[in-house]
A and B are shown apart, each in its own frame.
Chain A
């Protein structure tokens, strides 16, 4: 039983991982075909993984409704929202536009999904402002540097900020857009590169640990 429960799954990780890794560096038709096939297979398995999450979400809200838990009425809207996208998709065969006209799916996407997702993220703008207030309380030289970088970026991207900059610092001969470009391409790049190099080393080490079966928490408990 240990063989099919543990050893075969670990062998799948090892074989798939090593073959994918080798295929990337072997310029041969076989390796290219292998990567293409595996990519398709990965898409299929991920689609089922999404289904797993979807069913789990539906179970959770279905139980809320059947048990009449607090706020159970809102759970009905999860199913309504789901059907509002899936039914039009079925009738429109997955197309949003036909002959320049919105299909039912295009209509749902434009007036329901885009409105909701755009607003949900736009609301965060207000919370970011309150976060900015807390972040920008200058308590150290490092916080001051963070404040200056963020302030110049925000200031330089609005017309009023550009006017203020030209009025106060126009004598330097440098426009705020040039300063922003320099910040983004020099000191910010240095910070970003350090982080990216660190992340890549971490990702490579974790991947190796997974392939060689050292890290296997994703397998869950017996």
Chain B
């Protein structure tokens, strides 16, 4: 099936940008830097358009158009942030920053208290309220969680010198931390590889005849570039190349 021209063009662009970024694995090169800077600009552009369509238009422009003038107060506080560029009056930006810090701090206390503090303690203790309905293995697991959490907390307790029994308990805490770090590391590795498979899958799609072999063409062009670059500058001594 013949594809729309815009889709083919998109395939070529996506394949090109993907290969440009992957080329860094061989060595730093201008194509990688172009793609890197494009990413920075595109990322900011995306966030800017999100900001315009989800904040500036619905939360500032539309209310003001309807005569709801209360939103002018945060808008002025926001505009004052831009005084950071004028050193003489940059102190005015404090009004915006202090509002953000005050609101953020006020919200962080109950949020941290309920989700990260109380609910974690609750999750550790709650299984012991239904021991009768639990299997011996579940009871053992709950005991391990409770003991492990206490040991980790002892490891982070710096008010007393870690020696004697306290040292032993905090050492056990390190093992639990290591298991968590290992598990988190394993998950991160798998998430990154899943992204990698996704990019390879896209490159495979763009290598088809319907995309006019975009992947192969761009890959061949990159290889030719690196060969020519190697022929031109590869024979120079390393120090000379670095100086250039």
Contact = CB atoms under 8 A, between A and B. Distances in A.
* Real binding pair: yes
Contacts, number: 399
A157 interface: yes
B contact residues, range: 35 or more
B106 A117 contact: no
Given A44-B55, A45-B78, A191-B180, A82 B44 contact: yes
A49 interface: yes
A124 interface: yes
Contacts of A41: 71, 73-74, 77, 99, 103
A contact residues, range: 35 or more
Interface in B157-201: 173-190, 192-193, 195-196, 198-199
Contacts of B75: 44, 48
A25 B114 CA distance: 11
Interface string B109-129: 110110111001101100000
B210 interface: no
A221 B152 CA distance: 39
Interface in B72-125: 73-75, 77-79, 81-82, 84-85, 90-91, 94-110, 112-113, 115-117, 120-121, 123-124
A156 to B, nearest CB: 9
Interface in A127-155: 128-129, 132, 135, 141-143, 145-154
A191 B175 CA distance: 8
Contact of B22 (A54, A123, A222): A123
Given A5-B94, A85-B48, A193-B149, A211 B105 contact: yes
* B interface majority secondary structure: helix
B152 A44 contact: no
B21 A19 contact: no
A13 B105 contact: yes
A59 B102 CA distance: 29
B204 interface: no
B101 A119 contact: no
Contacts of A143: 178
B238 interface: no
Nearest to A222: B91
11 contacts: A13-B99, A41-B103, A45-B74, A45-B81, A51-B51, A85-B41, A122-B195, A149-B180, A194-B153, A207-B112, A219-B98
Interface of A: 5, 8-10, 12-21, 24-25, 37-38, 40-52, 54-57, 59, 71, 74-75, 77-86, 89, 93-94, 102, 105, 107-126, 128-129, 132, 135, 141-143, 145-154, 157, 182-201, 203-204, 206-208, 210-211, 218-220, 222
Interface of B: 6, 10-11, 13-14, 17-18, 21-22, 24-25, 30, 33-49, 51-53, 55-56, 59-60, 70-71, 73-75, 77-79, 81-82, 84-85, 90-91, 94-110, 112-113, 115-117, 120-121, 123-124, 141, 144-149, 151-153, 155-156, 173-190, 192-193, 195-196, 198-199, 202
